[in-house]
Amino acid sequence: MPLQVGVVYVNLATKKFTAMSTIQYIGRFAPSPSGPLHFGSLIAALGSYLRAHSQQGQWLVRIEDIDPPREVAGASDDILRTLDAYGLHWHGTALYQHQRYDAYQHQIEQLISHDQAYFCQCTRKIIQASGGLYDGRCGQCQPRLSQGAIRIRNQARVDIFTDLVQGEIVVDSHFAAEDFIIKRSDGLYAYQLAVVLDDAYQGITEVVRGCDLLEASCRQISLFLQLGLNTPNWLHLPLACAEKGFKLSKQNHAPAIDTQHPQASINAALAFLGQPSVDIDSVDVMLQQAVAQFCLDRIPKHKEIVLAATNRAT
C-alpha cells in the first residue's frame, strides 16, 4: 500500500496544528538549468527518486528556470536526457517554471492588494549598514512605494521545524522574521515564492533535496502557512563536497556525470547515501533493486560529506 502522508495545517491566529486528509506520497526533483548534472545533482535526484518509489508514490521533475541570466543554453534538455540515461524516469510531464509566471504574478497582486506584500527600494549596502538583515523600513513608508523589489510581510516567522534526516532545525530568529523578497527589482520572480507555489500546485507531500537549502526551508514553511497551503514534509540530504564548506556545484565547475556508463555512478551515489550497493546490470534493474533495499535510517545525518578525489568525477 502507498504511504499515506498526513498533511498538517497551522492556524496563524491560534498557532494550533490541525491534521488534514491523507494523500498519496508525491516527491520531486527540481534542478536549475545552469549546467549539466554532476555527482551532487545525482545524489539529490537518486535520493528523491528512491524515497518516492519506496513509498509507492509519484516522482515528478520540475525545471526551475526562473533566472535566465544563470541558465545555460540546452541545459534543460541535457538534464532530462541524463535522467533518462540513469533510468530516473519521472511521472507525467516535466514542469518548467517559466510556464508559471502568470500564477506567480497573480499571487503577488493578491498579496499587495491585502497589504501582505510591499515594494522595497533598499540596496544591499543599506541592508548591510543596518546589520545585514532587512529591517522592514519600506513596509512603513507612506505613501506606499510603487517600484522596486517586492517583499512579503512575514507573519508566520517560522524558526524551527523537523527534518526527517537532520532532526530538529532551529534557525536564527531574526533571519526567520525578515520580510524576504518574493519578486526581485529586475522583475524576476524569487525562488522562495516560485518553489512554494509550484510545490503546492503539484501536490508535493515531501521535499527531498540537499542541505544547502536547509535553513531556507523556514522561509518556505512561513510562506506555505501565510498562503494557507498544505505544508510538505522535509528531508535534506548531505551535500557532496570537494572540501569542507565547498560543495560540488555547476558554478564551481563540477564535472558532468557519465551518461554512457551510469552504473558506477549509481553505486557511488548509493554508497554516499548509506545504501547497499546493487548488482551491475541495466539501470532499470539496478534501480529496482535499490528501491527494494532503500532504508531512510541509513542516510548519514550529516549536512555535508567530503568526497575522496577519485569520487568527484564519478
> Is there a domain that residue 132 lies in?
no
The pLDDT score that the predictor gives to residue 251 is: 64
* Cell representation of residue 255: 564535472
The pLDDT score that the predictor gives to residue 20 is: 41
Give the annotated binding-site residues for L-glutamate. 28-32, 64, 191, 209
The pLDDT score that the predictor gives to residue 283 is: 97
> Is there a domain that residue 142 lies in?
no
> Is there a domain that residue 167 lies in?
no
Give the annotated binding-site residues. 28-32, 64, 120, 122, 134, 138, 191, 209, 250
Which of 143, 132, 126 is CA-nearest to residue 185? 126
> Is there a domain that residue 141 lies in?
no
Band the pLDDT of 311: cuts 50, 70, 90.
low
> Is there a domain that residue 70 lies in?
yes
> What CA–CA distance (Å, rounded) separates 25 from 49?
12
> Is there a domain that residue 293 lies in?
yes
> Is there a domain that residue 156 lies in?
no
CATH number at residue 37: 3.40.50.620
Across the chain, the runs of DSSP E, i.e. the strands, are: 4-10, 17-24, 26-29, 58-63, 95-96, 117-120, 149-152, 160-163, 167-170, 181-183, 206-210, 233-237, 239-243, 246-247, 304-306
Taking 50 as the threshold, does the pLDDT of residue 197 lie above it?
yes
> What CA–CA distance (Å, rounded) separates 158 from 139?
20
Highest mean pLDDT among 14-18, 111-115, 308-312: 111-115
The pLDDT score that the predictor gives to residue 293 is: 97
Number of domains in the chain: 1
> What CA–CA distance (Å, rounded) separates 182 from 275?
38
DSSP state of 69: G
> Is there a domain that residue 170 lies in?
no
Give the annotated binding-site residues for Zn(2+). 120, 122, 134, 138
In this prediction the pTM is 0.89
Tell me the residue range of the domain where 274 lies. Answer: 4-100+192-311
Give the annotated binding-site residues for ATP. 250
Least confident of 21-25, 58-62, 236-240: 21-25
